[in-house]
Amino acid sequence: MKKVLTISLFLICFYTNAQKDTTKYDREEEIISDRKRYRLHNNYLMAGFGYSYSSIRSHKEQSTLGIDYVFHIRRHHFQVGVLMSGDQFLENNNLQGHIGYVYRIENEKYNIAFGLGLTRDKGEVPPIARVTDTLPAFFYRNTGIYANVAYIKKITYDIGIGIEGIFEINKAQTFAGIKGVVFFSGGYRGKAKVHNIHVKPKRK
């Protein structure tokens, strides 16, 4: 219980100090890029695969798949996602869900995101043979803390590719890895018009 309260307090501090902006919020605010209109305050999907390290596996290098949806409430961004890993792709021995807060930096060229939140995971560790004995198999189900950072290089304003670093710590294990990811946002609003009432002047 004490651990959960500590994590919750840390998240509250992270939330209250992130993305402060005193300018007036306009939900419909847009930007023009390549003669197309995109919503400035948008949600996005990020998915990919890579490799990770688990402190409790005899085969410590794990193949990892994950997907995240990042949405906003006014200027604040939040993340929900699922991650699974195993000795080989699609051979799952660890399944994790996470939710948290995201600090996001976006422009026409890139999207950078820093996430911090809570996880709930479950998995199985098979028997591990040692020189003198064998450690028995065990199952786990834990709550932990999760962090990630992603850098996306944009192809168009709403599509891109990049890398994501992930980290989790809980009672059973320490877990860290890196993934290659694709990025799709819901920012596209249509072609630019002669008069665009919600367009923000192009950022430098």
pLDDT at 30: 83
Rounded Cα distance between 108 and 92, Å, is 37
**Residue 10 corresponds to which tokens in the numbers above?**
């840390």
Q: Pick the closest to residue 44 from 200, 188, 198 (CA basis).
A: 188
Q: Categorise residue 190: left if φ over 0, alpha if ψ from -120 to 50, beta otherwise.
A: left
pLDDT score at 128:
63
Look at 24 and 20; give whichever has higher pLDDT. 24
Q: What confidence tier does 204 reach under pLDDT thresholds 50, 70, 90? A: very low
Rg of the chain over CA atoms, in angstroms?
A: 20
Mean pLDDT (the chain) is 84
Q: Tell me: pLDDT of 9 over 80.
A: no
User: Token pair for residue 63?
Assistant: 């193949």
Is pLDDT at 20 greater than 60 in this prediction?
no
For the segment 24-79, what is each residue's pLDDT rounded down to a tens digit?
777 788 888 888 889 888 999 999 999 999 888 767 788 999 999 999 998 899 99
Query: DSSP E strands: which ranges in the chain?
Result: 30-33, 36-39, 44-54, 61-73, 76-86, 94-106, 110-125, 128-129, 134-135, 138-156, 159-169, 174-185, 188-191
pTM of the shown model: 0.80
SS3 196: coil
Q: What structural domains does the chain harbor?
A: 34-191 (2.40.160.20)
Q: 79: helix, coil or strand? A: strand
DSSP secondary structure letter of residue 103: E
Q: Which of 95 and 124 is assigned the larger pLDDT?
A: 95
Confidence at 91, pLDDT banded by 50, 70, 90: confident
Dig out the tokens for 88 from the structure.
């080989």
Q: Tell the burial category of 188 from Cβ atoms under 10 Å away from its Cβ (0-12, 13-18, 19+).
A: middle
Q: Alpha-carbon distance 170 to 112, whole Å?
A: 26
Q: Token digits for 57?
A: 């596996």
Judging by beta carbons within 10 Å of its beta carbon (0-12, 13-18, 19+), is residue 139 exposed, middle or buried?
A: exposed
* Higher-scoring residue by pLDDT: 11, 52: 52
